[in-house]
Structure 1
């Protein structure tokens, strides 16, 4: 289980060239190279396309948990031309500690990439990240959000992502939308075999084969008066039909442009699921920095709203809303999982996955010895 989540290992092979590291798994009878990539970070911790080409303490080796194998019964040092030490990586599901997988990160001056698998790609012409299971696209003009989503071979289902900020100065109320935020260019940081890293303004989106995560920093400290409301949501395209789920609507509500009575509170689990066609998109979020009164947001109404953005209609427009936020400077961290629609409502389960990241431990091994492991948690 949890095969669509990444494994990230940092702080290994200090000083070694990044192109001399490789990742293998033990199949039970042989060693097999698995897809991986190495992402460099600068001294400030920001991801960069290239730094110095040498492993530093914050550079990351990344591979998928679904590609891990068995605990090896044979030494990789006896089978492959690797240097004198390597790292055994143990990946454990904290929600089921008997569920484990292993991978082995090695250094070699003679090995080469033998697994050509590429799980994800970025197309600068249409500003889209694509995998076998989904595609996401950024708006080319007008706003900084997304305006394209497809799942499992279907067409585009998205109108756009939306942002709403309300503040009041004495008796005057002001409303901001995603259209009011200064426009930023989309910048590709890295397009690797396992993930892409794309930046727009301060927001970094990391996309894998069936999962994408976003860190969205928000600074509203320059706004005058009182901050009254903050909302972020995803609106589907006109005419899209499907089913919406959240913690208060486990049976689901039809997405059909006809208004529904959807309970917004309690808000104890920040997840939402939209199922359309052959796929489901589950979004989970961490909103603890905002404070205030938090609730689910949902609007399904095909009538034109002149005050709205995008196509000015709402089809399964869903997300999260906060009234009277206590912070004006915060970061929203979200994860989006893409799974087959046939699995039904899985939002609560993937929320647990998001809140309980995989445990990763690394153990230094040599031909004849193993050393104490270093324990880590995924971000």
Structure 2
């Protein structure tokens, strides 16, 4: 493919900004326009539920310095979301009425928090956590040791609960699932449940929510399906996210059954010269032989940087394994790969009780994922085992030198 003269990027989050930066870093000298709905310049999301909620910083990790975009002739339009894509005309229309022609287009519109279909979700004191402004508002709400109810026990919910407890708030976590981070399976879920319990978190698991109670002055409680009510001054709704695909759907792009915009291995959509990256990209992944959509930080960063070369004329497939990390109280961990705990065998190296271990997931004797918890010496070896889909035995994983395994 020939190099385009003008590239438009819809979405000024990590994926979109990483693509713009990589285009310039790789020597692309055509026009680049980046449209973003937020007023803040592009930033990374992990610090929102970590450093910022803990009061350790007022700023996230910015993707690039403030003067990078103008200094590299990138037309960054903040507070200017896209409202329409006209594939035939090769034009993007923005919320201010502007029209932006493109030779190639990248959609990197990210995700938005999933809402609860119950009465009271719009009461004052009910929060979600997705943006820098969300994080600053929630941190302010945690001040003064309020009664906090966190609805949802996934990554955002557990990290926010840890931050609230470390600031002295009373915290109760609610979920229809039987344990926190259930996506990792019951054994690992129990590790995180014990961690939070030791730090004073209360639980109402296996329970649905029917209503958030309160009035004009704010939320006062969370009513559960069994009729009981938890008192609450602050409620965080952390029940997952949904990809922002309205723009793509309206334009007529193919969507994936798994959610997101269907893209091939090189992140191309069903329309000529239109690509998608980050949270919305349901990619045909060469490693897994199926579509994969990942909402974690590393995927947005790496896909953004990778798709830049394809926008400029390349056709390389994206082959990286998923990666994410979390920090909660004194626990830190990294996860590599893509396991299915319902069908994969769990192998633990180390001590679950001390929360110092590495967990592996095996499928037909091959490593599908690895997660190191408070152990930091084997990162490269774990990555190699996951990327190589190493054929190993549980005994080897428990006792052998990981770097020496095939």
Q: TM-score, normalised by structure 2?
A: 0.24
Q: Which has the higher strand share?
A: 1
- TM-score, with normalisation over the residues of structure 1? 0.25
